[in-house]
Amino acid sequence: MVFDYKEVLKYCSELMITERPEWISEHEVIVEDTAYRMLGFNTENRTDKVPVLIIPPQAGHHSCIADFGSPEQSLVNTCIRQTENVVYALEWKNSMRRKETIDDMVLYLDVCVENAGGRAHLIGLCQGGWLATIYAAIYPEKVASLLIGAAPIDFRAGKSKVHDFVDRIPMKGYEWMVKTGGGFLRGDVMLSGWKLTSPYERYVQDYVNLWESIQDDKKLERSKKFRTWYEYTQNISGTWYLQAVRELFKKNKLITGKLRILHRNVNLARISCPVAMIAGEKDDITPYEQVYALADYVSTEKKNMFKRIIPKSGHIGVFMRTDSQPHWADALTFVTQRIPEPSRGLRDAVAA
């Protein structure tokens, strides 16, 4: 086999990605802390409609997964096109807080909701989905609807590759990873963990695919955009990471009502707003059973529940594939047309 040295050089340069991923849509910073920023995307179109707030995962990657690649792939743009609501998104910063807890993240989210007007349609992606669910259970009066995508609620349901890591590695192993990271779970360590769930695809097939695309500039550009996002990593607080591993992934406390956040038990039955659950057909990280479990624990009426499995989609594809966006559009239409007034029972529960 004869290689063109120019193509080899081009291939090698493609492997040396150093750019930082960015949001593709114009935005303004609404509120900012050392841990996060809240971005507004179409704030000039303010209406009396309840705004949309997107909560991306804080999983070692950049939050612009919610606004990725092209307008056709962007969940932010889907929300803007599909509704007349103002659209906000939370951006997690590279963590500088070793002692940050899940409690802190719930409080950050509450600041964002208050800055959005005090009530919002929450869209939670993966880790952002279980965080949004916890928030909705603690502050049900502030959540008009809850949409989750590829987000685990029952962390032990279905067949997930994450189970292997959780079951095989004792807590001391996770504590060691955080200790060697200086109190953080380093983003590159988390990325290596994700890659090890599909080692052949990540360490062999991805490089073969890149070489096969080296003469196709359009494919190469799409590949570069994804790799820029995927290979860029951020550290996360070791405290909340260990809390999540112990309380959620190992003990599965979110569905039992035993998870303690902000000095109270998280009771999913306090959620009665419209809910939408979106999963990927080929998602082996968060199978649909983990996502659909939300329906078993909330008080939402069945007629106000939306469920959808995106064909052929893996975990990340649920958020950033072009052909995933029509499913999000359907979910948004469904929940925004079903905003009930709080029932007497819910008002009493909130007051209590």
Q: Report helix, strand or coil for 28.
A: strand
| Short-list 56, 148, 154, 152, CA closest to 108 | 56
Domains of the chain: 5-351 (3.40.50.1820)
* Stretch 118-128: mean pLDDT: 97
Cβ-in-10-Å burial (0-12, 13-18, 19+) of 215 comes to exposed
Cβ-in-10-Å burial (0-12, 13-18, 19+) of 218 comes to exposed
Q: For the segment 16-32, what is each residue's pLDDT rounded down to a tens digit? A: 766 788 999 999 999 99
**Bridge partners of 237?**
184
**Per the structure block, which two tokens stand in for 39?**
């971005």
Place of tokens 């951020």: 234
Least confident range from 129-138, 159-168, 333-342: namely 333-342
Q: For the segment 184-209, what is each residue's pLDDT rounded down to a tens digit? A: 999 888 888 777 777 777 777 877 87
Least confident range from 68-77, 122-131, 138-147: namely 68-77
Instruction: List, in sequence order, the alpha helices (H) in 206-300.
Output: 206-212, 217-231, 238-244, 288-292, 294-297
d(CA 267, CA 59): 25
Secondary structure (H, E, C), 98-155: CCCCHHHHHHHHHHHHHHCCCCEEEEEECHHHHHHHHHHHHCHHHEEEEEEECCCCCC
Q: Report in angstroms the alpha-carbon separations of 122 from 15, 113, 249, 289, 314.
A: 36, 9, 23, 21, 22
* Stretch 87-107: mean pLDDT: 92
Q: Report in angstroms the alpha-carbon separations of 27 from 40, 138, 152.
A: 5, 29, 29
pLDDT reported for residue 347:
39
Cβ-in-10-Å burial (0-12, 13-18, 19+) of 138 comes to buried
Please, which pLDDT band fits residue 80 given cuts at 50, 70 and 90?
very high
